[in-house]
Chains A and B, each alone.
Chain A
Amino acid sequence: MATRIHPLLGAFAILVFFFLLAPLVIIVGSALSDTTFLTFPPQGLTLRWFANIFQMEAFRRTAITSLQVALLGTGLSLLIGIPAAYALNRYRVELPRWLSTLFVLPILVPEIVFGFALLKSITIGLGLPVFISLVVGHALLILPYSVRVVGASLASFDFSIEEAARSLGCPPLKTFMTVVLPNIRAGVIAAFILAFITSINDVSVSVFLTGPGISTLPIQILAHMEQFFDPTIASVSVLLMLVTVGVMAIVEATLGLTFLTK
């Protein structure tokens, strides 16, 4: 589809992009302000708010927890999600339809309800440690990405290559690792990135699963904001945005960003 666009529509789109990006510029600006309150445009420039983050135990600790939860949760969801995605595509006809619906349930059920239900049943009901509940909760929350995104690349995978390897005597697991996996590399990377980003930014599930002494970075930011309204929050936000920039650079280098609209 390509036709000429009306200048008014073009102008509108420019305004929308201004609306989308200006708030992020404002965060960066106010993180650099040499004032004890949040302001934009910045008054004086300083990096002391960034230094301040590293002096605050709570931010350091929760950032580490967030990273651990995101990595473990993403790993776990891929570990159970990839085999499921594989089976759903390989044995499409034989497996019941409700199975693929089951794997998107974590997106369908409101996150906040899921968090509350997990708190009641896992953390309190089964008495599991908070950290385990967090990892399990995140793994489940991001399972749909693993199944759907990996599934999308398996849908265009030619399973006869796999059969060729099998008929030549390659054992099943080795076939999967050396024949199937390299062919769905892009899907696995994409699923990993989407899952990781979702986990590291999650609020609605984590808010129920953080306990005394253990919290994730977004929850810590929320808690900090209730007491202080200083540029520290802006500088933490900038660091989180830098993580996003890093991730986008990886996406661009490995897959090209246009895959996101597909």
Chain B
Amino acid sequence: MNKLARWGLTMPATIAVVLLLVIPVVLTIATTFGEAGGPFSTYTAFFKSGFRMAVLYRTLQIALVTTAIALVVGFITAYVIAQMPGRLKSIMIVAAVFPLLTGVVVRSFAWLIILGKNGIINSFLMWAGLIGEPLSMLYTQGSVIVAMVYLFVPLMILTLVGVLEGIPRDLIEAAASLGARPIPTFLQVILPLAAPGLIVGAVLVFTGSFTSYATPQLLGGEKQMMMGTFLYQRAMVTFDWVGASTIAAIMVVITIGVVFIMSRMARRLNPMAV
């Protein structure tokens, strides 16, 4: 009876995930090995093509830069939030959560208004007489990165506020009472304790930006094609399904690889878990 209950209760969700996620994704990846030129021919074609490799490099680069900026900005902001008294802290958390709950399309769209040819920045610079004609800021790597940072900083802040609040105050006071100055305290006490949280945040931001679709679509266009937009283009515009499946397989391997390696690292780095 008990055995039946515990398997019965998990069964619907298990079947749903296996049938609708695992099998479709595995089948999609499997089709890439059935090509006439040998099982790995689509991959050799991918890695030999300058254009496709440029898309992969660009995606990795944008994701890494976004992650690095989000880490620094998110950490400092979360640190400040964690020091705030109760009421102010709640307000700041709400201010950080609100953009997070607003959709990707809406948030990316905002940057079209800001960075566009007739956008706010151009209008202001023209009005101030600093430039004669509008700068083209859209469809550059910079515009994609700015919008991605905007997208992911709230996620980083929320991840880190919880972590930083969990650091016992006694530890910092102990360091101070033993004569540690603020910077060494930060480097030797706070940072190591926050390291697992920083890794979790970094993984979330990296995988999120590496696999994003709407933001590069809106702010990058054809010029700044990333893996997500490339996959869509191959599947729905040129109907090259094997090509699209190859991109899908590469994306799955990289994301799951990053999650796996980094979560092991987070576990090892956790100084509280001895």
| Chain A partners chain B | yes
Contact B109 A9 (CB under 8 A): no
What residues on B are CB-neighbors of A81 within 8 Å?
13
Contact A20 B80 (CB under 8 A): no
Contact B231 A39 (CB under 8 A): no
Interface flags, A237-249, vs B, CB<8A=1, else 0: 1001100110110
Contact A112 B211 (CB under 8 A): yes
Contact B150 A87 (CB under 8 A): no
CB interface residues, A 1-20, toward B, < 8 Å: 1-6, 9-10, 12-13, 16-17, 19-20
Q: Chain A at the B interface: mostly helix, strand, loop or mixed?
A: helix
The chain B residue sitting closest to A118, CB to CB, is: B24
Q: Is B174 an interface residue (CB 8 A)?
A: no
- Which segment, of B3-11, B35-43, B49-57, faces chain A? B3-11
Of B103, B120, B154, chain A has the most CB atoms within 10 Å of the CB of: B103
Interface flags, A56-92, vs B, CB<8A=1, else 0: 0000000000000000000000011101101110110
Interface flags, A99-114, vs B, CB<8A=1, else 0: 1001101101111111
Contact B83 A2 (CB under 8 A): yes
Interface flags, B85-129, vs A, CB<8A=1, else 0: 000001011111111011111110111111010101001000000
CA distance A81 to B17 in the complex (A): 11
For chain B, the count of residues having a C-beta within 8 Å of the partner chain is 92
The contact of A117 among B28, B105, B113, B169, by CB within 8 Å, is B28
Q: Is A228 an interface residue (CB 8 A)?
A: no
Contact B154 A87 (CB under 8 A): no
What residues on B are CB-neighbors of A177 within 8 Å?
none
CA distance A80 to B165 in the complex (A): 34
Instruction: Kindly provide the distance from the CB of B264 to the nearest chain A CB, expressed in whole angstroms.
Output: 14
What residues on A are CB-neighbors of B28 within 8 Å?
113, 116-117, 120-121
CB interface residues, B 6-32, toward A, < 8 Å: 6-7, 9-10, 12-14, 16-18, 20-25, 27-28
Instruction: Kindly provide the distance from the CB of A227 to the nearest chain B CB, expressed in whole angstroms.
Output: 14
The contact of B20 among A12, A122, A241, by CB within 8 Å, is A122
Instruction: Kindly provide the distance from the CB of A230 to the nearest chain B CB, expressed in whole angstroms.
Output: 12
CB interface residues, A 195-243, toward B, < 8 Å: 197, 200-201, 203-204, 207-208, 218, 221-222, 225, 229, 233-234, 237, 240-241
What residues on A are CB-neighbors of B179 within 8 Å?
none
Contact A247 B17 (CB under 8 A): no
Q: Is A27 an interface residue (CB 8 A)?
A: yes
Q: Is B60 an interface residue (CB 8 A)?
A: no
Q: Is A38 an interface residue (CB 8 A)?
A: yes
Contact A197 B114 (CB under 8 A): no
Contact B118 A9 (CB under 8 A): no
Contact B6 A94 (CB under 8 A): yes
CA distance A36 to B52 in the complex (A): 39
- Which segment, of A45-53, A153-161, A184-192, A254-262, faces chain B? A254-262
CA distance A251 to B234 in the complex (A): 41
Given contacts A13-B81, A84-B13, whether A19 and B104 have CB atoms under 8 Å apart is no
Instruction: Kindly provide the distance from the CB of B256 to the nearest chain A CB, expressed in whole angstroms.
Output: 6
Q: Is A134 an interface residue (CB 8 A)?
A: no
Q: Is A54 an interface residue (CB 8 A)?
A: no
Given contacts A1-B169, A2-B83, A120-B27, whether A111 and B211 have CB atoms under 8 Å apart is yes
CA distance A79 to B172 in the complex (A): 45
Interface flags, B202-230, vs A, CB<8A=1, else 0: 00000100111110011000000000100
Q: Is B137 an interface residue (CB 8 A)?
A: no
Q: Is A130 an interface residue (CB 8 A)?
A: no
Interface flags, A135-165, vs B, CB<8A=1, else 0: 0110110010001000000000000000000
5 A-B pairs, CB-CB below 8 angstroms?
A105-B17, A116-B28, A203-B103, A203-B105, A207-B213
The 8 closest A-B CB pairs, nearest first, are A201-B103, A23-B110, A110-B211, A117-B24, A87-B9, A121-B24, A13-B80, A84-B13
Chain B residues proximal to chain A, CB less than 8 Å: 2-3, 5-7, 9-10, 12-14, 16-18, 20-25, 27-28, 73, 76-77, 79-83, 90, 92-99, 101-107, 109-114, 116, 118, 120, 123, 150, 153-154, 158, 161-162, 164-165, 167-169, 172, 176, 182, 190, 207, 210-214, 217-218, 228, 231-232, 235-236, 241, 244-245, 248, 251-252, 255-256, 259
Chain A residues proximal to chain B, CB less than 8 Å: 1-6, 9-10, 12-13, 16-17, 19-21, 23-24, 26-27, 30, 37-40, 79-81, 83-84, 86-88, 90-91, 94-95, 99, 102-103, 105-106, 108-114, 116-122, 136-137, 139-140, 143, 147, 172, 197, 200-201, 203-204, 207-208, 218, 221-222, 225, 229, 233-234, 237, 240-241, 244-245, 247-248, 257-258, 260-262
